[in-house]
């Protein structure tokens, strides 16, 4: 709690934090409202690749997919938060003031965890309200998507933190994150296409991307007889958790053995 309190003191008057969190929350809610009311669609003519079924139980999956678009706002803030510690030397000041090196890492880890929990709660509350307003079936069905959203968010934010701890410059870290997203997308498709396997889906960020798929693509895949490149859910979860643990132990080793 002391480490979280220290992080909160840095954030409470930090405009970039409130701006990015507001953009994440506001645009996420606005997009879902627009799709739910058919103001927004993806496709030409009567075709809409974005399902506007916001009743239970479809709302959990549909909003989970839309949610995955906007986590990048939070990842950018994690990069800014970590990079600022190195830019303004506040990390060294913490050590001078008596904080252990490992506690500096744990403070940022708790910040990432808190943001992931907060974002997941926003998704859960929003999906539940949309579901109630639109009626429908069983609200319990597909609620496991809440766990998938949390794991997805934690994986992305932890990966962003990993990059910024090594690069230490916010601008370059953001560019590298975007470049890696493009690179991984290409590699995943190359592996899956040429080797006719789902192994490419087990790469760091793609592993949790698989948990929040585009609903219409899942439906089309189930209706066709083509070879599926979807990885099993249990493997996506296992690899997602494993990557998060790897990020932590890499940074723990760095904090204990290298200079700040």
Distance in angstroms (rounded) separating the CA atoms of residues 201 and 76: 23
Q: So what's the pLDDT on residue 95?
A: 81
**Are residues 192 and 229 in contact, defined by beta-carbon separation less than 8 angstroms?**
yes
Q: So what's the pLDDT on residue 225?
A: 46
**Are residues 112 and 78 in contact, defined by beta-carbon separation less than 8 angstroms?**
yes
In this prediction the pTM is 0.92
Q: Which two tokens stand for residue 51?
A: 């399902």
Helices and strands, number each (H, E), in the chain: 10, 0
Q: So what's the pLDDT on residue 221?
A: 53
Distance in angstroms (rounded) separating the CA atoms of residues 56 and 65: 15
pLDDT along the chain (260 residues), means of 10: 92 93 96 84 55 84 94 97 93 85 94 98 97 88 97 98 96 97 96 92 96 74 55 95 98 84
Distance in angstroms (rounded) separating the CA atoms of residues 78 and 157: 7
Q: What are phi and psi of 184, to 5 degrees?
A: -65, -40
Q: So what's the pLDDT on residue 21?
A: 95
């Amino acid at each position: 709690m002391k480490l979280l309190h220290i992080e909160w003191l840095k954030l409470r008057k930090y405009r970039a934090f409130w701006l990015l969190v507001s953009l994440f929350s506001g645009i996420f809610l606005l997009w879902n409202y627009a799709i739910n009311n058919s103001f927004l669609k993806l496709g030409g003519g009567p075709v809409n690749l974005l399902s506007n079924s916001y009743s239970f139980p479809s709302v959990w999956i549909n909003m989970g997919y839309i949610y995955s678009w906007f986590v990048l706002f939070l990842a950018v803030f994690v990069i800014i938060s970590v990079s600022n510690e190195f830019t303004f030397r506040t990390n060294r000041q913490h050590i001078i003031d008596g904080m252990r090196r490992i506690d500096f890492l744990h403070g940022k880890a708790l910040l990432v965890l808190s943001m992931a929990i907060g974002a997941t709660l926003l998704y859960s509350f929003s999906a539940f309200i949309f579901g109630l307003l639109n009626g429908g079936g069983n609200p319990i069905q597909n609620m496991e998507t809440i766990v998938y959203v949390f794991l997805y968010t934690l994986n992305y934010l932890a990966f962003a933190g990993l990059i910024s701890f090594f690069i230490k410059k916010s601008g370059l870290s953001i560019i590298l994150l975007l470049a890696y997203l493009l690179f991984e997308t290409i590699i995943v498709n190359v592996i899956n296409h040429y080797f006719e396997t789902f192994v490419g889906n087990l790469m760091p960020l793609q592993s949790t991307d698989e948990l929040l798929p585009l609903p219409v693509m899942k439906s089309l895949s189930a209706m066709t007889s083509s070879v599926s490149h979807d990885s099993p859910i249990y493997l996506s979860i296992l690899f997602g958790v494993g990557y998060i643990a790897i990020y932590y132990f890499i940074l723990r080793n760095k904090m204990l053995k290298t200079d700040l």
